[in-house]
Structure 1
């Protein structure tokens, strides 16, 4: 009898170790991330609440939201992050569902994922060379006689609507969307698509009834990753943005390094605020995605 319990305990311990094995693999990288990011956030939070005597601890946060420069930077940052992420997600889903059968061959995967090998700064510089008023497209349009002079070319870089920044992020992030969604489409049973089309369903009907339950939670997670990344990225808006309104990372850099020392606590408060909002959004979105997967799995078992 004792041997039976020992065997049972050994099996239980073995299953626990197996379930914890992925976390052991991630532990070194997680320790590095938590150390550097955690230490940076701790210092930023400490500096953002360090106030003079008689001032409330939230003084710098109050000052931050009274700054019109910050509010404009927040608005343009959310605009750029939302548009570039939404467009990348829509195009990435469309390309994945159209080319999923081709992606079974490795060379098509390499072609689709090649832009991820290019650093964002280099990608921004390529967009500048192509879309600047003196760039390649304006030169071609002028040489072809479409423009009387190159100054008539539309402003796509260093423009107040951040079109060049959005273009850079779109062509850089579409491959990431494909990378994240391709395993989802490869796990689908495409026979359901054949059944839906046999019953007269069009492309939208197939996507809504067959693909959407699989794609939706992953799309939310991809949207979160890309949105937060674009919101906090520095190099692309620094190269292709304008002096006003600046995106939040550029404004934080200016306040921390180039402006008066009095603005450093505001830069810290800005970063702490964005980090807190990003963590809260991640918690709610990931929780919703996990619940969606659980409900969908239960429905599949019932069916």
Structure 2
């Protein structure tokens, strides 16, 4: 029963796939969170208007494979940015443009997910900032607090639980997504969903149990991460609720 799991855990391509998948999921999620929170806190008053909301959330209307194609058109060695760089003299030929799609570091995949995830972060964080009493920020700034001090003392208690939940949603989604790494990834190492697809459909029948074991392990790790993060956010909210009552 556990032979497939033992074989999978001893398979070096599987661990290469785990490494690149964690890299892509973690980096794209963290970058999206940082930029999304920064835009939300800076533009929270402007987001009260529907036209600003539509502009911020428009990328969510695009399917992921369309977003991947847009990134390819922009950042490929024969794409728009390489052509522009050659025309203005930054590079002599388009072939000198850095490889940002179908590269071993999955830069194009990360750019695609950042493009798609920032609007989701804004969507999730906007209600948090709208419910926050911005007068606390004014008081902190009046007392000489810097932007970092204001963020650390006023915003973090509100932002942290939702940020962790958003991180969990995006990280697990990217870790299990197929279409973007299939379009913009490389042949080796493959991300986990692409490797599982090839083992299940394109390789020998003997690899199907490995693909199934991989998806079971991925689901189990995702559930464990969800349990730990949700437990932490529950304790965080309880802690700050008690502090507010004491005040």
TM-score clears 0.5: yes
How much has 1:190 moved relative to structure 2?
0.7
Matched, 1:277 2:221: yes
Matched, 1:163 2:107: yes
Structure 1 residues 155-194: aligned runs within 5 Å: 155-194=99-138
Distance 1:112 1:139 in 2: 28
Matched, 1:113 2:57: yes
Moved more, 290-299 or 268-277: 290-299
Distance 2:91 2:45 in 1: 42
- 1:207 — aligned with what? 151
Distance 2:220 2:89 in 1: 53
How much has 1:146 moved relative to structure 2?
2.0
Structure label with greater radius of gyration: 1
Unaligned runs of 5+ in 1: 1-56
Structure 1 residues 144-293: aligned runs within 5 Å: 144-293=88-237
- 2:18 — aligned with what? 74
Matched, 1:58 2:20: no
Q: Deviations over 1:220-262 (max 9, x none)?
A: 0000000000000000000000000000000000000000000
- 1:92 — aligned with what? 36
Look up the SS of the partner of 1:91 in the other structure.
Answer: helix
Distance 1:290 1:270 in 2: 30
- 2:86 — aligned with what? 142
- 2:48 — aligned with what? 104
How much has 1:290 moved relative to structure 2?
1.3
Distance 1:294 1:184 in 2: 17
Look up the SS of the partner of 1:189 in the other structure.
Answer: coil
Q: Deviations over 1:259-286 (max 9, x none)?
A: 0000000000000000000001101111
Distance 1:203 1:222 in 2: 23
How much has 1:149 moved relative to structure 2?
1.1
Distance 2:107 2:99 in 1: 8
Distance 2:239 2:90 in 1: 56
Unaligned runs of 5+ in 2: none
Distance 2:43 2:88 in 1: 35
- TM-score relative to the length of structure 1: 0.81
